[in-house]
Amino acid sequence: MPSFEMFSPSFTSLVSVTVLFLTGIFSVLGFRRFRPPRSNHYGPPTLPVLGCLLPFYKNRLRLLDWYTELLAESPSETILIDRLGARRTVVTGNPDNIEYILKTKFDNFPKGRPFTELLGDLLGRGIFNVDGEMWHSQRKLASHEFTSKSLREFLVRTLETEVNERLMPILEAACTKKEVVNMQEILKRFAFDVVCKLSLGMDPACLEPSLPDSKFAKAFDVAAEISAKRGTAPVFAVWEAKRALSIGSEKRLKEAMQVIRGSVVELIRSRKDESRKEDIKKDLLSRLVTSGLDEELIRDMIISFIMAGRDTTSAAMTWFFWLLSCHKEVEKELVQEVETATGHSNEERSIKYENMKEMKFLKAYLCESMRLYPPVAWDSKHAAANDILPDGTRVYKGDRVTYFPYGMGRMKKIWGEDCQDFKPNRWIDAEDHTISPYKFPIFQAGPRVCLGKEMAFIQMKYVVASLLEQFELVPVRQDIPAFVPLLTAHMAGGLNVSVQRRKEEDWVAAS
């Protein structure tokens, strides 16, 4: 039986006195932290000491839409989030601000210690979690490897094998048996196989139905989810305490990282032995091993590359296929482009790197899909010194500065009155078919622009073109799926589809 003594007048008075006492203490201790509101402060209602903790908690399950609504109300497309237990945060969707942060004043807006602590258990000293000289040295090395022709050719060969020997047979079986499949899960497993082959020279075989689930892949799922939830916790001290005590989710994160790091280190040592032979593999790990870096740094770099490639392309393609199912006229245009680029044949279908370069409409449609459903909904830096953004927003040393691709894709000031609509032609009609990366920072921009951008488009084009040649995906759900932002975005409930063989007349109609 529940006790109702807590609602007695004496208990209520005790709570009131306690709250007043704590408020006074926090007011004294936080006097320097909590500055008075300024005229250009746009954002949620903010109280002394607590800041916007209450509305933040109220909207914690819809942060993306809440931030988007707040940005739409701000004349400068910038808002301030000040809440108890977290750093003062500047959230912006202003392209001028983003260019200033990512390029003009790049050195003043590093990832920063708060970010590196947040993802430190997962990414360690990898390229995505460091600044300064350590970042510069890794960037230089990675840039050389990612732009090499041999790595690109290795990717295309890997895609050909994975698509023809695993992905297509799964879809063929689903088509024949009239089974519903979750394309989000299939694409996620596909991407993990590809990135592991490319980065590690190892095949986790996540798409192989006859094999059990990969413990390595499962550990990445656990680590990514828990690390992402750290960033959205109303009070950071909670996860920090759980980590110190090694309990709950933080204990599971620690166990997952033991699996990930142990597996990668084992491969590093094995590859070192192989590197003494003349036959050197073409994967990224083999290249890093010969660079002379220490074992721990190679481990962290590889984990970072896997995290960057495992879910981003699969998330982008999941939303792309859903949008395509809602716009059949777009699908017909793409079928025509694939036929023209590859030379459609019933006997043999082969996609080459040169074919993919010709698929300009497909790239435009992928960009439009990512505008509305970006694989990474937001990204943050931290101010190294006091600054003023181009829109006049003051930034103080230690502030978290977040740019917000998800909200930007839904802002009329940036994309016009039809910003909510899926209109790929906005990319075709753009001057030189390009749009400023500071207006569309899906792959970041400036010195930290994504090194894997071209490889991501190669992978997405290859998969989409291969699938469109043979199949049509028909979602079983009719409602608009929810967009779930973790480290990378997911579709709530997955993309469950029936797989139908593309009819020959579809090709004739597209011709």
Tell me if 48 sits within 8 A of 28, measured CB to CB.
Answer: no
Which residues on adjacent β-strands are paired with residue 120? none
Distances (CA, A) of 460 to 37, 151, 226: 46, 17, 27
Q: What is the pLDDT of residue 15?
A: 36
Tell me if 407 sits within 8 A of 439, measured CB to CB.
Answer: no
Q: Could you give the CA distance from residue 453 to residue 308 in angstroms, rounded to a whole number?
A: 11
Which residues on adjacent β-strands are paired with residue 473? 499
Q: What is the pLDDT of residue 148?
A: 81
Q: What is the pLDDT of residue 434?
A: 77
Q: Could you give the CA distance from residue 285 to residue 299 in angstroms, rounded to a whole number?
A: 9
Q: What is the pLDDT of residue 193?
A: 95
Q: What is the pLDDT of residue 192?
A: 94
Which residues on adjacent β-strands are paired with residue 497? 181, 475
| DSSP 8-state secondary structure symbol assigned to residue 209 | T
Residue 345 neighbours by CB under 8 Å, 6+ apart: none
Q: Could you give the CA distance from residue 202 to residue 398 in angstroms, rounded to a whole number?
A: 41
**The pTM is what?**
0.86
Q: What is the pLDDT of residue 35?
A: 44
Q: What is the pLDDT of residue 197?
A: 93
| Helix intervals (H) in 2-62 | 9-29, 53-58
| DSSP 8-state secondary structure symbol assigned to residue 385 | S
Nearest to 188 by CA among 80, 341, 313: 313
Q: What is the pLDDT of residue 277?
A: 62
> How far does the chain reach from its first CA to its final CA, in angstroms?
73
> Percent of the chain, pLDDT > 90?
58
| Helix intervals (H) in 233-311 | 236-245, 248-274, 284-289, 295-310
Q: What is the pLDDT of residue 22?
A: 44
Q: What is the pLDDT of residue 348?
A: 54
Q: What is the pLDDT of residue 344?
A: 57
pLDDT tens string 158-188: 999 999 999 999 999 999 999 999 999 999 9
Strand 496-501 and strand 387-388: the pairing is: unpaired
Q: Could you give the CA distance from residue 213 to residue 185 in angstroms, rounded to a whole number?
A: 12
Q: What is the pLDDT of residue 29?
A: 41
Which residues of the chain fall short of a pLDDT of 50? Answer: 1-39, 346-347, 507-508, 510-511
Residue 448 neighbours by CB under 8 Å, 6+ apart: 102, 106, 139
Q: What is the pLDDT of residue 212?
A: 74
Buried b vs exposed e over 384-419: b needs ≥16 C-beta within 10 Å? eeebebbbebebeebbbbbbbbbbbbbbeebbeeeb
